[in-house]
Amino acid sequence: MKTREEASAYGLTFPDSYEDRSFKDQRWQVIRVKPGKKIFLWIYEKDELIYLNVKTDPRWRDFWRAAYPSVIPGYHQNKEHWNTIILDGSVPDKDIERMIAESYDLVTDSPTKRIYEAVKRIPKGHVATYRQIAKMAGNEKMSRAVGNALHKNPDPDHIPCFRVVNAKGELAGAFAFGGADVQAELLREDGVEVVDGKVDLTKYQMADLMESDGRACYRI
């Protein structure tokens, strides 16, 4: 990704996003998200290169800056919460896209963000069903959205999507984890027994939602 057009096109793939060029300097454009009109992507030209400003979680801010010299503290913005990506060809497209996606999630209360946060709450040595994750994310009817989100998992090291199975305890197809038996191997390393591509939910499933002191929580 090196051009303004490529960055804008990717930013506009996100739900309710739109382009805005309401600046005197037409070299600056932003991608906003409805209904709050919040900006998650700034696109502008500087030093004959295209620069992107993206919002960043402080926990990841320094990681990206250390990983790539072309990711620097946010230009003309709060340097604690924004990074600038210089499109000089040194940052892989997948990581640029990941940083833009993270920015989008930070300025929206997106279902995808809630799904990932729910998956992080599955204890080691246990699994949850798609329906459980959907319920934890606020809508038990969006099991299909859970599957879509997990197949696009941007951070497998911290979002353990391998702990999610279907209502029968069956594992996902080989394509979901990059090869046959990968999910099974990850679960076994986690302490979960897998037999014939299936997990015994009576033994390993995280228990359903219950109420405690008026707040939703999960027990195992």
Compute the distance between CA of residue 210 and CA of residue 220 in angstroms, rounded to an integer.
11
CA-based diameter of the chain, in Å?
A: 63
**What sign does the dihedral 145-59-57-92 (CA atoms) show?**
negative
Compute the distance between CA of residue 72 and CA of residue 100 in angstroms, rounded to an integer.
15
Annotated catalytic sites, by residue?
161
Preceding amide of 35 cis, omega within 30: yes
Locus of tokens 């500087």:
46
- ∠ at Cα 174 (60, 151), nearest 5°? 35
Task: Classify residue 206 by its DSSP letter.
Answer: P
What does the block give as tokens for 97?
Answer: 């896209």
- ∠ at Cα 158 (153, 159), nearest 5°? 40
